[in-house]
Amino acid sequence: MITQIYEARSSNEAKSLVEAGVDYVGVLVSTKDKYPGILNLEQAIIVLNEVTGGAKKVILPFTKDLNEISLIAKKIKPDILHIAVEPGDISPTDIQALKKQFPDIKIMRTIPVVDEDSVNLAKQYDGVADYLLLDSRSKKNNQIGVTGETHDWKLSKKSLTQFLSL
């Protein structure tokens, strides 16, 4: 099992997470938006400098703009780039382009698990994304992940089973 914790906001938080044995320490980052919990490039670099040893540095860009995502990845050089926007906003082809641009960075793609189409969506990332994160979509505002809502885990199992059998 891998433990992944997001929204490290300070060097001390990141260091504490590493000391606690967290595998993946993540930050939300943007070059434009200023929302609580979202760091700018400089802040993200400072926080992730404390992610040492076997822990992995993960960034979740708070944008669907591929140019901004590329800029963020280029400046921060994370171990893992987590794409968690709507599937229609960043396609498997876009993920392939990011992989080509950043061959040393692993790509994690969040798939919203809603219905049977989610299984087909997950299959599209076979050989493209290094990690698939199957997560819930909020019924209130369509947010993917961090919703507090549970999706149908049978669909996740079906996605995983079909993905692994490809």
Q: What predicted TM-score, i.e. pTM, was given to this entire model?
A: 0.85
Chain-centre distance for alpha carbon 24: 11
| Total number of domains constituting the chain | 1
Each residue's pLDDT, cut to its tens digit, for the chain (166 residues) gives: 888 888 899 999 999 999 999 999 999 999 886 777 789 999 999 999 999 999 999 999 989 999 999 999 999 999 999 998 888 899 999 999 999 999 999 999 888 776 777 677 778 888 899 988 776 565 665 666 555 666 566 766 666 665 555 5
Model pLDDT, residue 123? 80
Q: For position 134, which CATH number holds?
A: 3.20.20.70
Domain limits at 106? 4-165
